Amino acid sequence: MKHHKEVDAMIARAEAERRCAFGITKAHRSALARRAQALELKRVFPNMYAAPEYWKSLPPDERTRHLARTLHLKHPHWIFAGITAAAIHGLEHQWHLHDGSITIAVTSQGPNASSSQVKRIFVPNCTPEYASGLPVTGKARTVVDCGLSTEFRFALPIINSALRKGVAIAEILNICSTMRRDCTSIFRLLHYANPSCENGGESLGLGTIIEGGLMVPELQQEITDPQTGTLYRVDYLWRLPTGRLVVGEFDGYEKYVNPNMNNRRGVRGAVHAEKERETGLYRAKVDAIVRFTYEDAMAQHPVINKLRAAGIPNAKSMMAPLTVAH
């Protein structure tokens, strides 16, 4: 197909601005649509396009930010909310929550219902904050909206990330107090929220453990190797009533391949360091070490089965009333 020079320029400018290309004139819209029909461009949203390889290279959260930046140019009054706002704020979350749609806040319950592409959340008296130049709901409100619409174990990473970024529990409770909705799911999140989780994967692991009805572990505890004096910090630690110590480790693939996480030792060096770490933990009287991956946590049952096999009991009382620490 003969290339349209203006379309090429639009695509190049859009990529430079970390957004999608869109047609303002009828001629541009037609040219973009023709290129998409010829599979030279990918239509990622109504009248929004990107080069296929470029779009494929973007992680899901960045695709959402690309859509938001583009829509902000087309609808500058829109306030982004929900998981879209979480991505813009940089709150940690699982990428599968991005389904290609955009969520916005609306201040009146008018005729504009949500669609598969634009989801609307009623937020009366919504005053936007700006993150990376985009109008969004504040972090606390974003936490509440995500907590009300997302499964517990996927909402936990969002609230833990927000607490690490300085959001106060009182802010979240204050928003709940103004809503005419059942906020039990938010209170449960606050009960178990712990900013000690260092990343979204560890938060997902914790949420999976809680949802599985198992005893809640201590987080990021330090254990000293009595022989070398080396201090090891473990992701999860259970001190069982029997006196046994069980360590849980969330194994992220990145720590083996990211030179900034493995001190540039490479995969072989990282594996050797893990073996040394395990040996040191066993010398410190740890009775069992349970490792699980992101894929294990997403599937749920591999994590629960491994922990049950290691002797982790059920939580003492799953029916105890939830309290929120101030």
Q: For 122, left (φ over 0), alpha (ψ -120 to 50), or beta?
A: beta
Distance, in Å, from the CA atom of 283 to the CA atom of 83, rounded to the nearest integer, reads 44
pLDDT, one tens digit per residue, over 160-180 is: 999 999 999 999 999 999 998
State the Cα angle at 157 between 152 and 159, rounded to 5°.
Answer: 85
DSSP bridge pairs for 156: none
**Residue 257: which pLDDT band, with cuts at 50, 70 and 90?**
very low
**Total Cβ atoms within 10 A of residue 242:** 8
Distance, in Å, from the CA atom of 158 to the CA atom of 89, rounded to the nearest integer, reads 10
**Residue 116: which pLDDT band, with cuts at 50, 70 and 90?**
confident
Q: Which two tokens stand for residue 183?
A: 């906020």
Mean pLDDT of the region 126-151: 96
Mean pLDDT of the region 298-324: 81
Tokens 């529990």, residue located: 169
Distance, in Å, from the CA atom of 139 to the CA atom of 166, rounded to the nearest integer, reads 9
pLDDT, one tens digit per residue, over 184-223 is: 999 999 999 999 998 999 999 999 999 999 999 999 999 9
Mean pLDDT, all residues of the chain: 90
CB 142 within 8 A of CB 75: no
**Residue 183: which pLDDT band, with cuts at 50, 70 and 90?**
very high
**Total Cβ atoms within 10 A of residue 321:** 6
Measured in degrees and rounded to the nearest 5, phi and psi for residue 151 equal -55, 140
Q: Which two tokens stand for residue 256?
A: 């083996």
310 by Cβ neighbours in 10 Å (0-12 / 13-18 / 19+) ranks as middle
Distance, in Å, from the CA atom of 126 to the CA atom of 140, rounded to the nearest integer, reads 12
Long-range contacts of 312-318 (CB under 8 A, 24+ apart): 312/214, 312/215, 312/238, 312/240, 312/246, 313/214, 313/215, 313/240, 313/241, 314/213, 314/214, 314/215, 315/210, 315/213, 315/214, 315/215, 315/216, 316/215, 318/213
Range in 12-16, 216-220, 253-257, 313-317 the model is least confident about: 253-257
Q: Which two tokens stand for residue 31?
A: 């040219």
Pairing of strands 118-122, 129-131: unpaired
Mean pLDDT of the region 241-245: 94
Q: Residue 322 pLDDT more than 60?
A: no
